[in-house]
Each structure stands twice: as structure tokens, then as C-alpha cells.
Amino acid sequence: MEIVTYPEEVLRREAEPIADIDDGIRELADKMTEMMFRAEGIGLAAPQVGVGKKMIVVNPEDDFHILINPEIVERSEEEETLEEGCLSVPGPEAPVNRAEKVVVKGIDLDGDEVRLAREGLTARVLQHEVDHISGKLYIDHLSDAERSLVLREYRKLEEESKEESEGSSL
């Protein structure tokens, strides 16, 4: 299992709800958690590891949660714009406007309902990851011009990385 990157098709699809929390789902949660920490990320959604299921793991500011079928049920009218990046679009960051506060509802691995009322960075990360299970990336919040610049930088970094790895294998 590895983190998939733009323009991988699974990142653009609406993920499927999870009906049963079985050993496969628990194993997926464990692997996603491990990958998030290994990649030094603060959130990861199942589509980012190539699995079209509605599950996210988040750990902003040591506020760790695994949520199944998460949905945002409330958003504040107050918004803020901060730089965002993404493990599936590695490299470039861009300013994204999001609600300052959210309430997210989901299910934990025990099948119990969870409601998280969060603000600041944690609210931003929850919105970013819930976007992922809806087939949306942070670049979709940008103007056409901003998105074009971010994708140009992403492709340039991707090309440089490919050239470095080809050069090291000679």
C-alpha cells in the first residue's frame, strides 16, 4: 500500500460508505495510520491509499481520530484562509479558504457514533479529509489561475524527482 498521487482516478471518485466494520476495515485503519505518520502528515483519507471507502485518519495537534463515514454536519460562517498542501499532491501549497469551525459526525472502529466539534487547524484538516472522500482535492478550492500555477509546480517537482531517481539507478 502506498499513497497515490494526482491525477490518480480514485482521488476524483466519491468514496463508498462502509457498511460493516470487519477485520479488513480495522487493518486498513492501521495501515492508513502508519502511512500518515511515516509520511509526516496530519491526515489521510482511504482514497489517498487507493481505497474508495469513506474512512479518514487525522492527527492534527495530537488530536488523533479514525472516522468511518464522516460527514460535516455544521460549519461556521466565519472562514479563514491558510496555506494547505496534500500528500496526494506532494510539494506545492496554496492558500485555501475554509470554515473556522466544524462539527463532524462519523463512526469509530467500535461502531459507536462520534461527533467532533473542532476549530482552527483540526477543523481545517477534517474538512480537507472529508473533501477527499467526496472526490475533491484542495486544488479544487483555488481559482483557475492559482490551480494552474500549483499544478505546474507539482509537475515540475515530479519531473525533477523522476530525473533524480533515474540518475541514481545508473
Based on the residue annotation, tell me whether 129 is a catalytic residue of this protein. yes
The stretches of 49-135 forming alpha helices (DSSP H) are: 120-133
Residue 170 has pLDDT above 60, yes or no: no
3-state secondary structure of 38: helix
In a domain, 1, yes or no: no
3-state secondary structure of 101: strand
pLDDT in tens, 38-84: 999 999 999 999 999 999 999 999 999 999 999 999 999 999 999 99
- pTM to 2 decimal places: 0.93
Range of the domain at 102: 9-168
What does the alpha-carbon distance between residue 72 and residue 33 come to, in Å, rounded to a whole number?
A: 21
pLDDT in tens, 131-169: 999 999 999 999 999 999 999 999 999 888 888 877 665
Number of domains in the chain: 1
In a domain, 2, yes or no: no
The stretches of the chain forming alpha helices (DSSP H) are: 23-38, 120-133, 144-168
Annotated active-site residue in 2, 78, 129, 146: 129
In a domain, 39, yes or no: yes
Q: Chain centroid to CA 66: how far? A: 13
pLDDT of residue 150: 96
pLDDT of residue 161: 81
Report the number of secondary-structure helices (H) and strands (E) in the chain.
3, 7
CATH number of the structural domain spanning residue 108: 3.90.45.10
